[in-house]
Structure 1
Amino acid sequence: MPLDYQNQVTLLKDLLSEHQTECCGTAAECEQIERLIKSLMVNANVNDHVKNVLMNIYDYSQSSKNASELNSHISSQQENLTHWIQEIDSFS
């Protein structure tokens, strides 16, 4: 059963929050973030501001997935993760 918009946003926020608080993650989590973003981007109800935030998170997941040292990469993105989580709170 597919997740609805709110469930997708909640899951995305949970994954980003985990990266933020634990400063670690897995390639599988990054792939899950990518799938969520792709699904949210095709939603006609998502406005341009939200799409810009989602694209930034997508870029993060791409670079995280391909990072030679994933946990160091996640640690270096703490400011962005905090910002994105706040942005998600504002549109969820």
Structure 2
Amino acid sequence: MPLQVNDQISLLADILRSHQLDQCGSDSECQQLERLTNSLLQNPQTPLELRDTLIAIQTYGQNGGQAKSLEHHIIQSNGDLNQWMSVIDQM
């Protein structure tokens, strides 16, 4: 059974919150971020006000998967993570 939009957003938030709090992550989490954002961006039920944030998160996941140091990438993205979590928490 496919995840509903709210479930996908919750999963996305869990991964981002983990990156934000732990200041570390994995390649598989970055790949999951890409899959989730891609799915949400293609779903017409996704709130329009999330689209720009989802695109930014998608780019973050792609760049994280290509980064020499994922931890460094996460630390550098801390401000963005805070902003994205704020947007998601308002949903």
TM-score band by shorter chain is over 0.9
After TM superposition, the score normalised by the length of structure 1 is 0.94
Name the structure 1 match of 2:40: 40
Name the structure 1 match of 2:56: 56
* Pairwise CA distance, 1:89: 1.1
Which structure has more relative contact order (CA 8 Å, sep 6+)? It is: 1
Q: Are 1:30 and 2:30 an aligned pair?
A: yes
Deviation by residue 1:30-84 (Cα, 9 ceiling, x = unmatched): 0001110011011112344311110000011111110001111101111100100
Name the structure 2 match of 1:21: 21
Structure 1 CA distance, aligned partners of 2:72 and 2:53?
A: 22
Give the AA of the match of 1:80.
Answer: D
Name the structure 2 match of 1:9: 9
> How many aligned residue pairs are there?
91
* Pairwise CA distance, 1:2: 1.1
Structure 2 CA distance, aligned partners of 1:56 and 1:6?
A: 19
5+ residue gaps, structure 1: none
After TM superposition, the score normalised by the length of structure 2 is 0.95
Structure 2 CA distance, aligned partners of 1:45 and 1:3?
A: 12
5+ residue gaps, structure 2: none
Q: Percent identity?
A: 36
